[in-house]
Amino acid sequence: MKLTSKSVALIPIIATVATAVVGATLISPPVANAATTLSAAAQQSGRYFGTAVAANKLGDSTYVGILNREFDMVTAENEMKMDATEPNQNQFSYGNADRIVNHARNQGKRVRGHALAWHSQQPGWMQNMSGTALRNAMLNHVTQVATYYRGKIYAWDVVNEAFADGSSGGRRDSNLQRTGNDWIEAAFRAARAADPGAKLCYNDYNTDDWSHAKTQAVYRMVQDFKSRGVPIDCVGLQSHFNPQSPVPSNYQTTLQNFANLGVDVQITELDIEGSGSSQAQNYQRVTQACLAVARCTGITVWGIRDTDSWRASGTPLLFDGSGNKKAAYNSTLDALNAGGGPGPTTTTTTTTTTTSNGPGPGGCTATVSLNQWNEGFVATIKVTAGSSALSGWTVTTTLSNATVTGSWSANRSGNSGTVNWTNVDYNAAVPAGGSTEFGFQGSGNGSGLNPSCAAR
């Protein structure tokens, strides 16, 4: 039977009460001239607000009306998972996934890809494999699907739910894990090679409480990946909450600690069981926590109406079964409009073109997207090859009134003034016309970076 909901039951989180405070508990009053939709309100701080979408509901006019009006990021609920996209080995099927992707793009929305590698919802042929054959099949799946959607996906959940619940702090036992402990790293490297422009995320549930062993285990993996140049750009917290697994009091701390590793943080599958003011306050807390963390780039709720949810009996979403806005919708919208904390409130883009790399038409260009707030910034720099492929590159930036506090996907010399950035092993080769990205976080004012690129 094909699953139409998340296949893993939530494990209750202990020692946290349902009324745990993350930010203020009072719902903020509406802001004058405030945005009137979730996506517009989120965009005011440079974030997105998305939802999970099922292809078989795209014929429902109420469903589609809310989707088109309220959300600017789309995740396929099941249609991009392994069993849906490769039902038979090396025979790929993208029809339902394409319906969702095309609808989103036609409406000017971005897409989160979910998910390339997972121990669950594997097609039958893969479930019966093991060892090297399974490893190669998994990597082929990652490569083929990410290549097919190359350039159309904002971020991929490359690996989903690979850590065990409980106090062990270890990996989940699965057929993929038994191919070798480096299988997650291998999947991320394959995804980067197949779609270098997409952000690559690790996604999991019950990683919301900073004190829990599972959260710490995921944190250590991301820390290790960043230290060794394994391509990872973001961490997804599913954030499925109910009275047995409530919003933890240290939720914002968890978001911030992951962000401090130099990755984006995304709330990827949010739903909160309950009703009325209690549910509304919990949605507000989660929203405010994201707004308070500069690298929390967006929120996705796992469904549109309560009746669309995999947890429908818990009425966990922002719209009721008839499509009416709930109190939780209003509290979320008000929180987004009110803002909060040092979010990425402004974005500027500077483009600098370099000379060619010796004789001929080679060379590269560098562009920077800057998210600046009062006391700091995050800079993402895209390196684009000219008419010849690159085998290595150097980018020079100028930090006149700023200091680098962390970086990823590049080596650097210095922390202020003139800083040179060079490729790491996995992003040295850039095909003609192709691009790769690196980034850094800093304190102070990041304007005037004026990046220049040189092939080497």
Residue 426 φ/ψ region, left for φ over 0, alpha for ψ in the -120 to 50 degree band, beta for the rest: alpha
Residue 367: beta bridge partners? Answer: 351, 382
CA 360 from centroid of its chain's CA atoms: 39
Rounded to the nearest angstrom, the gap between the alpha carbon of residue 436 and the centroid of all alpha carbons in its chain is 17
| Calpha distance 26→334 (Å, rounded) | 11
- Three-state DSSP class for 351? strand
Q: Report the distance separating Cα 320 and Cα 312, nearest Å.
A: 10
Rounded to 10 deg, the angle between the 251-259 and 276-291 helix axes is 20
Determine whether 86 is an active site residue. no
Catalytic pick among 70, 77, 269, 273: 269
Residue written as token pair 């990823």? 408
With 0-12 CB in 10 A as exposed, 13-18 as middle and 19+ as buried, what is 104? buried
Phi, psi of 365 (to 5 degrees): -125, 160
| Residue found under tokens 């003139």 | 418
For residues 328 and 279, the answer to whether their CB atoms sit within 8 Å is yes
Residues annotated as catalytic (active site), given as ranges:
269
